[in-house]
Structure 1
């Protein structure tokens, strides 16, 4: 007899009730001990196969030819490795070095340290790194998982390699990073940008011709750029130009060729105003609207050789620049003269500025009230030499601490003609420590460490702020590298330096090169997340995030 849905449901409910009351067929009954005597027991759990997880992902790097770069790979085995974990690397293209450093973590993971091969020819290499996992150096005993692979993408560039192409990604500014507004980034000239940068994110964005074709003594500083709100500003060839960071296209420009003695000096930007000194005898400090290029003011400044000696330093409410015949000029954001302080004539001298004072050095450190121009204190460096071309700036460290060197030590009169890295105790007006060497460029500073390029011996030095002790150093890898062409730039995890051959990123923890590019030049890192390398041939922009 065929049952309706309602009938079937009623029978099913009756069966459930019977089961709940202990009834049912004999095959489903329980014994006196309550155990089941029927059915099939579940199978035992299957043990998971041993594996090694790749925690760090693939490897992407740019490297200059003959300048290998290091990188880390993090793995985590699901088993306890036998003996000592020994790892070797190989790849079909021969780009990756065989030697691998192994560092055990506290959570069962391992950090593997690898590097590219020094003699890799220029080219774009992709593939897999095969990591061989062993329990001994001879690899007589493989690990439970004997090998694994890691994908890589490595681009090696030579000095004559074609530009790899533009990558114009959307720009998202860091919200907690200041503008690159002055020489060495800020009015303290620390060259410090408070960000962490992953080397694999340092990728080419765009390339354009040089900011300045000038070939005179001061050309390197003339082309130094600053940036704010997605626009960068640079002076050269008697022009100040504002360009978009997105692609380098021009927003506005101002030409000073009609001046009686035309010349331009490096700009600075703060609070919507771009400051630039131009012309000679006298020099005019211009104030431009940063967005439109409209001239807000012109302020005359006395000078003998305006070109190259008038690098402005800008803060929110004023700008400061050295003149000549004994003048440090303070100019308000409205273009009004604030003061002319009586300091010695000095070309290429750049003051450092903080909330209360401006700091100038020419063999004597002079501390000047930044509102009134009053001399607050002074301290000699002990050399009794007068330097008339500094070519750099004091660097402000922790409160009360200032670093400087005789950058233009070849241009001195009298006294000793050496070059030392100095730390001044500002409050007590004396030199706290001094390190002999040849420090020709303004150092960088971050978190109690001074980063100074030295050519005697040839290396970048990381020295402690309090005592000048050498904490670590880094030496360029190529034989043709004999000098430094740019002030160092430092972030939370990387130090950028530029030699006469290439530019490098050095990991602050491992002190290894983790990125390199075959071009030398002045460096800038802006809030838009772009690293710039600028020289007399080109300006190159790299994405860093």
Structure 2
């Protein structure tokens, strides 16, 4: 059955020329020698092809494609050029197959699902025809092999495919996802490798929050530690079990005169959250296990909202202040300092062992113990139209900080534009800037900045050194026009969330290898769970 592969990023047919090896050697007969001896003919080996990679399991958002690879190893040298095409009874798998030879004699076959496949669950076998010509008129010594597959295609509004509540075994070498974009540097980086076949639905529950914030839209983000997740919304802070999403405890803040809540952070068994407004603004600290209030420290503010604070073992830092500012508290609630910054909100500082980094239209660096200003770098192109930043600085290699005036990306339908900046805090200047429309805090890992852009619409991988574009990726659905969540990067995958779906993009092939038809804020926790949350729902996917 021939199935046309549709979509914006169809896999092209690749092939590899192979030279057939000659057989036989020279010398005497292979049997017994001497008078009356007999000759034993060699036993001919039966050619075979082993499938080294096993079956394929994938989830895919409807109207998009997901790629996967199959590794095979023949016991013979293929004749001429090895061509492969694929068929399956349901027509879910594209016919064209890319072929790449490995040094060990195996071959990696690149396949892709068919764009436009109706929503549903498809399971069966992929037949891989092995040929010596492109038309597949001449078969190889083994004409075909089969590989089992299990593909679930989900449309927006499809029923939840079911809970897979496997035991949770936390990664031992991964830190907690403890603040906005996972860590105090806001890198969104989790140092693990994830197999797309293991991205399976764990549980789904109602929205943590239904609130939106001005230009930022849905602002709630969650954090997790010791098998518990924490999220704020609807005038309460709630703790849920990562195992199944059931409620562990809740703290109601509706008794405050101005009962607003902001996203939490967690560190060393304490959950921190800024709440309230005007003369009733506080930094709350809760026991992470029980929800008991450990302290309630007063702050000042107007009517702003904030991103999650940065919580370390000994202190917590947050955006607040009547005309903007940076508050710092010890882990027992004593105010360490207040630092004046520009009158902006909806940001979180970044932190390392010594300093705090605030992007408020320029970069300000403060000593994290004393609050003394260490360095200020001006962004000459910054204009404050909204009194919101809508993001955080991201710490790269020593002295490098990335940021943008994210709020400008939403003005006048995005026509205002902004710039992605690299600040060199070691030398005190803006090192490079790239024009575009960057609405969200980028992710960073290994010398690469991963930044969603809307002008043009794509996710960009840019070199830390000079901002050069290394590669980019564009979602496949025509209705995708915006980005709904900050990206997350692992050792092998980049998770990105559009207004229609969330994708896992392979860092090597630059192809989507998994997707789910829901966009939102993302988190990847030490328990091995990927979370997607928006104003409709909170969903959890196993990643191991």
Give the TM-score of the pair, scaled to structure 2.
0.90
Give 2:108's match in structure 1, choosing from 100, 104, 111: 111
Task: Point out the more displaced range, 319-328 or 191-200.
Answer: 319-328
Local SS of the residue matching 1:436: strand
Local SS of the residue matching 1:153: strand
CA offset at residue 342 of structure 1?
1.6
Which residue number in structure 1 is paired with residue 73 of structure 2? 76
Which residue number in structure 2 is paired with residue 323 of structure 1? 320
Q: d(CA) in 2 for partners of 1:449 and 1:311?
A: 24
Matches within 5 A, 1:38-57: 46-57=43-54
Q: d(CA) in 1 for partners of 2:193 and 2:526?
A: 13
Which residue number in structure 1 is paired with residue 9 of structure 2? none
Q: d(CA) in 2 for partners of 1:375 and 1:408?
A: 25
**CA distances 1:289-323 after superposition (whole Å, capped 9, x unpaired):** 111111111111110114x2263111111110111
Which residue number in structure 2 is paired with residue 161 of structure 1? 158
Conservation of the 8 A alpha-carbon contact between 1:190 and 1:396? yes
Q: d(CA) in 1 for partners of 2:409 and 2:510?
A: 31
CA offset at residue 140 of structure 1?
2.8
Which residue number in structure 1 is paired with residue 499 of structure 2? 500
Give 1:190's match in structure 2, choosing from 180, 187, 190: 187
Task: Point out the more displaced range, 256-265 or 342-351.
Answer: 342-351
1:97 aligns with 2:94: yes
CA offset at residue 217 of structure 1?
3.1
Q: d(CA) in 1 for partners of 2:391 and 2:508?
A: 28
Which residue number in structure 2 is paired with residue 8 of structure 1? none
Which residue number in structure 2 is paired with residue 374 of structure 1? 372
Which residue number in structure 2 is paired with residue 12 of structure 1? none
Give 1:241's match in structure 2, choosing from 234, 238, 257: 238
Give 2:273's match in structure 1, choosing from 271, 276, 286: 276
Q: d(CA) in 2 for partners of 1:531 and 1:187?
A: 19
Local SS of the residue matching 1:200: helix
**CA distances 1:154-179 after superposition (whole Å, capped 9, x unpaired):** 11011121111111000000000000
Q: d(CA) in 2 for partners of 1:41 and 1:225?
A: 79
Specify whether residues 345 and 310 from structure 1 end up closer, same or farther in structure 2 by C-alpha distance, changes over 3 A only.
Answer: farther
Give the TM-score of the pair, scaled to structure 1.
0.90
Q: d(CA) in 2 for partners of 1:202 and 1:267?
A: 26
Which residue number in structure 2 is paired with residue 125 of structure 1? 122
1:230 aligns with 2:206: no
CA offset at residue 215 of structure 1?
4.5
Specify whether residues 36 and 519 from structure 1 end up closer, same or farther in structure 2 by C-alpha distance, changes over 3 A only.
Answer: closer
1:292 aligns with 2:290: yes
Q: d(CA) in 1 for partners of 2:39 and 2:503?
A: 61
Which residue number in structure 1 is paired with residue 10 of structure 2? none
Local SS of the residue matching 1:184: helix
1:176 aligns with 2:165: no
Local SS of the residue matching 2:197: helix
CA offset at residue 541 of structure 1?
0.3
How many residues are paired up?
Answer: 507
Conservation of the 8 A alpha-carbon contact between 1:222 and 1:264? no
Conservation of the 8 A alpha-carbon contact between 1:102 and 1:111? yes
Q: d(CA) in 1 for partners of 2:367 and 2:467?
A: 28
CA offset at residue 136 of structure 1?
1.3
Local SS of the residue matching 1:188: coil
Unpaired segments of 5 or more residues in structure 2? 1-31
Conservation of the 8 A alpha-carbon contact between 1:193 and 1:492? yes
Q: d(CA) in 1 for partners of 2:445 and 2:331?
A: 29
Local SS of the residue matching 1:488: strand
Local SS of the residue matching 1:57: coil
Conservation of the 8 A alpha-carbon contact between 1:365 and 1:379? yes
Task: Point out the more displaced range, 172-181 or 217-226.
Answer: 217-226
CA offset at residue 74 of structure 1?
0.2
Q: d(CA) in 2 for partners of 1:82 and 1:102?
A: 14
Conservation of the 8 A alpha-carbon contact between 1:196 and 1:492? yes
**CA distances 1:49-86 after superposition (whole Å, capped 9, x unpaired):** 10000000011101010111000000000000011100
Which residue number in structure 2 is paired with residue 23 of structure 1? none
The structure whose Rg is larger is: 1
Which residue number in structure 2 is paired with residue 250 of structure 1? 247
Q: d(CA) in 2 for partners of 1:338 and 1:254?
A: 26
CA offset at residue 385 of structure 1?
2.0
Conservation of the 8 A alpha-carbon contact between 1:309 and 1:346? no
1:345 aligns with 2:347: no
Which residue number in structure 1 is paired with residue 17 of structure 2? none
Local SS of the residue matching 2:81: coil
Specify whether residues 535 and 40 from structure 1 end up closer, same or farther in structure 2 by C-alpha distance, changes over 3 A only.
Answer: farther
1:519 aligns with 2:514: no
Local SS of the residue matching 1:173: coil
Conservation of the 8 A alpha-carbon contact between 2:357 and 2:364? yes
Which residue number in structure 1 is paired with residue 334 of structure 2? 336
1:441 aligns with 2:440: yes
Give 1:139's match in structure 2, choosing from 120, 136, 139: 136
1:466 aligns with 2:465: yes
Conservation of the 8 A alpha-carbon contact between 1:212 and 1:219? no
Moved over 4 A (4+): 35-45, 218-222
Conservation of the 8 A alpha-carbon contact between 1:323 and 1:345? no
Q: d(CA) in 1 for partners of 2:172 and 2:65?
A: 33
Which residue number in structure 1 is paired with residue 24 of structure 2? none
**CA distances 1:149-202 after superposition (whole Å, capped 9, x unpaired):** 111111101112111111100000000000000100001000000000000000
1:455 aligns with 2:451: no
CA offset at residue 221 of structure 1?
5.6
Specify whether residues 504 and 384 from structure 1 end up closer, same or farther in structure 2 by C-alpha distance, changes over 3 A only.
Answer: closer
Specify whether residues 59 and 310 from structure 1 end up closer, same or farther in structure 2 by C-alpha distance, changes over 3 A only.
Answer: closer
Local SS of the residue matching 2:329: strand
Unpaired segments of 5 or more residues in structure 1? 1-34
